[in-house]
Structure formats: structure tokens, C-alpha cells
Amino acid sequence: MSEVVYQLYTAVNVIYVKMEVKIDTKEKFTVVTPVTPALSANIAAKLAETCSEFLQKEVRNIVLNLEPITEIEPEAAKTLAMLQQSFYENSASFVLCNLKEPIEAAFEQEELLDFMNITPTESEAWDIVQMEEIERELMDGDDIEFEKPE
């Protein structure tokens, strides 16, 4: 297991936004944890870009730990919802965990809460990733053709 802190920069009207994230790679998923307490639309876009890069790696599943986040812009919540959809379209899991009440309320206000894969803890997020991995393996097995006995 390795833990790395990355600094993400994005240009917005020639002003650079800095965001640090911790990245911890496990066997079947990577935990990405923003370090800053606010998640703006610009930072969420950069975070989405970083997470999407994992779709090209061997460990493709992401658990986004939002425990440090105390405020989120509506556009940032929408970006995370679209990111989750992108992961599922690419046969990978994307789970949010450790949301504080104001963050959960922001997802609810944008009518995204019911569509998001959210767990109270990182441990439960790991359970979701494992279940989805098994489900994908079973679904891939549906393509097997059996010969009819004579």
C-alpha cells in the first residue's frame, strides 16, 4: 500500500487553484481523499480528471473519501455524479464515503443522492467495490456459450 499526496493545479482566468489529495492504492481500489475543506466546481473538474486517469490503470476502482470536505458547490456535486457514471460505463466502481451532513444535503438538493453510490465508511465502500467486482465477473460469464448435448 502506498500513500502519496499530489498537488493539483487548474487555471481559471489566469488564477491557479491548488488542491492537495491523498492517494492510497489498495489491492482492488484506490482511495482518493481531498485535503482541502471546500470543493469548488473548478477543483472538482481537476479531481475528476485525476480520477479518470485511473481508468487506464490496473487498479481502476475509486473510493472518494470526502471526510475533509465541509462545503461543496452544486456544480462540483454534479461533476462527481457524472464521474461516477463514467466509471460505471467503463466497468469500474466509483464510491463516495464519509460525507458530512452538509455535503449529503448538497447532493440531496441537486437530486443526486439517490443516484450516487455513497457509504458511511471506507470499509463499507470496500464492500461495495468487492460486490460490484463479483457482479461484473458474473455478467462477463453470461457471454459463455455452451454446446448442446447430443
Lookup: cell for 49: 480528471
Question: How many C-beta neighbours within 10 Å does residue 76 have?
Answer: 24
Cα gap 97→63, rounded to integer Å: 7
Per DSSP (E only), the strands in 1-143 are 2-12, 15-25, 29-34, 38-39, 61-65, 71-72, 94-97, 118-119
Q: Are 24 and 31 in contact (CB under 8 A)?
A: yes
Mean pLDDT of 88-108: 96
Residue 63 Cα distances to 15, 71, 129, angstroms: 29, 19, 8
Residue with C-alpha cell 458547490?
A: 73
Mean pLDDT of 48-77: 95
Q: Is the dihedral of CA 36, 39, 45, 47 positive or negative?
A: positive
Cα gap 30→64, rounded to integer Å: 8
How confident is residue 10, by pLDDT bands cut at 50, 70 and 90? very low
pLDDT attached to residue 11 = 45
For 8, phi then psi, to 5°, come to -105, 135
Q: Is the pLDDT of residue 66 over 90?
A: yes
